[in-house]
Structure 1
Amino acid sequence: MPLLPNNKSFSDSSTVEKLLVHQLLWMLLLRVILYTLILGLSGYLQAGKFNVTVLPPHLLFLFILVIYVASISSGLILLKTNTPLRHFGLKQILLDTLFVSILVYYTGSSNSIFSPIYFFPIIAGGLIMPRLGGLIAAGAATLQFAVVLLLEYYQFFPAFLKVPFYENGQDIFATLNLFAVYGLIFFLTAILSSLFAGRLRKTEDALSDSVRDYDRLSLLYKQIFDDISTGIITTDTKNRITSVNNAAEHITGYSSRDLLHEKFHYFFPNVTFSALGSRHSAEIIRKNNEQTRIGYSYARLQYSQVLNNEKEDDTPAHCENCKVITIQDISEIERMEKQMQQTEKLAAIGQMSAGIAHDFRNPLTAISGSAQVLDSELSQMHSTQSQVNSELVAIILRESNRLSNTVSDFLKFARPEHAEKDWFSFRRCLDEVIEVAEMDSEWPTTMQLELLTDDITDIWADQYQIFTILNHLLQNGLAFVPLGQEQIRIIAKEVQINTHKDVIIITVEDNGPGIAQGREEKIFEPFYTRRVDGTGLGLAIVKQMIEEHGGTIEAGKSFLGGAKFIVTLPLPQEL
């Protein structure tokens, strides 16, 4: 019969209660089995010529029927009601001692062959309630047996029972001796059963702790095995897959049901086990026929496995070719590595180009200066040839200036300057941008320029870079507006995004053809341009400077019909 463990062996009281109910049901079943055997034994003794006292058949069947009814009723009460389990168990133990006492009394008292049945409730009590159950049962058995001996001593027997008057019924010393011997045996049995139960309880506690620790480690292993981002696959001596984790399923696209017990190289044909522990890469075909690259490594898996052979028992053998393989999807990593290498190449080219562009400046300055002097001298001449030469010099000056602007833009993009932020007047900066633009000979006299900047006064930014940003956006709009119907609108306002963040939003829009759908992000890439005389660096420089300020720029459709650029610049937060 299993023991009742203490609270240390179980996590909650419900488990203890379920185990105690199970033990009590076993005790009721053993009671029924025991007295059924007694019924059979009594019938056998009655049929033979044995000098023993047994109950008459009708009383014996009545006694067994009472035990059956009591056991079944107790089982139903135990299962259907919320009776206190320990009190219920104690009552059943006392009831068992009473059944034994009745049986002993009606089968010869001190000479009854059924006196050893007293040990059943004593041992059961010691096992179910290790500390007090056995002692309570022993005390109840001793007192009830004393009553039986007293009834025998005073020769008080039922009329239907034909029993002789035994010698110990007439001798008080024999009766006391019998009582002392049985009482001592009862209590010794109770103590031994309690000690035995205690030992078993400690053993069960230790076993429960070991099982719980093993289950905890098993759960931890399974959780680590399933949650780790690296795919893990194990194989046996025949190179068949024995286990896979969730990451391996995700990388390959196959479920564990597809992979388990299959040949490893059926799914990984390009994986070779040449150098132990080193990192390799290979291509695999996922379940959806998509090709991907994995990085993998493997190690020997040292453990003993049971191999079925022709011997009578299964013998453990060493797994020589078992492996554990780790895999990772490196397709994205390789793509990023290639992108990083490309970026490094572009950076090197950018540095070299910036140096070359810087060296272009001095010759361009000399060419432009010489052309200006030559143009001044030719302007004093009035011949036809001098006019032709003057036009050629004008071309030199125009192209030199354009080339100089291209070099300047390239240097700004290749060597971005750190934003030196300070408070300054946004409207004054905008007026300077417009003033410089209007001084250009190409500024149209029909331009309709709308400025809506009354909501803000000062702005926290680098004034030089903001000047450059506004100038590029203005020149970009000017390049696409229709001739004679030029419209450009500039709006600036301060917006509070939330209680802790304020931003300046600057909008520049025109009535040109606008930006083709799907090109809203591409126009900010370097060297992308639709202008014949453009370098493709203006908007790239604008985006670079705005990101240096921690802001953003977006392109979209204007209500005027053309392009719209929305610049968002953060303001410093108040502490």
Structure 2
Amino acid sequence: MWGTLQTGTGTQHLWETAAILGVVLLGVVGLVVYLLRKFFQSTKEEHKERIAVSAPRTENPSAFMAASMQAVIQQLREQEKELERLHKIERDRAKQTERLSEEVTRNMPAGLLIVNANGIISSANPAAEQVLGIHGLGFRRYSEALGPDSALTRLVVECLESGKIFRRQEVEHVPPAGDTRHLGVTISPIRRGEGKINGAICLLTDLTELAALQQRMQLKENLAALGELSAGIAHEFKNALATISGYAQLIPGSSPKEAADYAKKIVEQTRNITHMVAEFLKYARPMEIPEDRVELEEVVQRAIAEVAQTMPQVTIEWAGNFDGVAGDEGLLRQALLNLTRNAAEACAEAGGGGRVTLRGEVVEGEDTGWQRIMVADNGPGIAQATMSKLFRPFFTTKSNGTGLGLAVVQKIIVQHGGQVEVRNCPKGGAEFIVTLPLPRKLPVAVELSQGRI
């Protein structure tokens, strides 16, 4: 019985302890809930106070709306002030850039002209007025300021109409003072939007002094060349006349057969002199180069056929592309004939048979193209010391040559706006390279305008 009583007393004690712990736990939970509510309530009140500070404190709806609008207007004014400040900064920056651009344009050594789409000179720096010798270029029509027949006017017209770019063109300009000036000109179109041409920009450089210096140098070179020509002619005539005189002196005391032989030698010498004079005249006489179209493939084939007929032991062939050029067909055929014959004579004694190849190549350019003609042989090549003298008049390595063939070739090609170069081939033999300009490409707009009636 005592055990049963003791057990009941322990159970009651446990229930009392559990009840106390439960009460304590509920108290803690209640305290936490209370503190959280106070925290959120204080935060909400602070937020309401901030709203109350920023919002107009009035219970009148009309006054509330007016106050709200006033606050919005004040905010807009502040934003307007900020925009004005930023605008002023950008405006000052633009003015500074414009002043810098004007200073650069005003002080640049090259002349600058800007022509708008209506043909009015919208800008011209002092250097342009000095180069052109014209004052007050601004806001004048370019054709009236520069002159309707001026080469510069024609370039500007083509640039505005077709959008063609001219780089480093040399033109002559006659200012009102009357002294002819040589100008270097670069003209580019100004495009906006969908590629529409809105004007042109022109850069001008005065090349008059440089052109005068080049003329003086050219005169000195011409005088030096004339001296060499005179010496060469005198030498050739002296040798020929000495030979003729020697044979003529032998005739009186010789037999009829010997006299006939001496007379034949004299005739040969006179023929040699006549041939040399004819070759010299080809070199010395001014050439009139027409603008006729010359089909180079036909010229090459005719030159090959003529040389092959006189030198059948040499194989002559052609390959590549040959276009048409502007010039004199007879002069170009003579130049290619001389080069082909020289190449055939150089390789005629080559082991395994001589071979000459004429190869054509067309090189496309932005405004125009170039026709290259390479004349190569498999001969012994050219000595390095001799190569720099090949195009000099009366210089020859042949026993029966006049020394004018390559000089004439160079003059013909140069008169056609081209050039001649020579080099030794890596595998043996020599190669002469002729470069001729192809006709200029006309812009599509110009071609269409020319096709209209």
Q: TM-score, normalised by structure 2?
A: 0.43
Identify the structure with bigger relative contact order (alpha carbons < 8 Å, sequence gap 6+): 2
Larger radius of gyration: 1
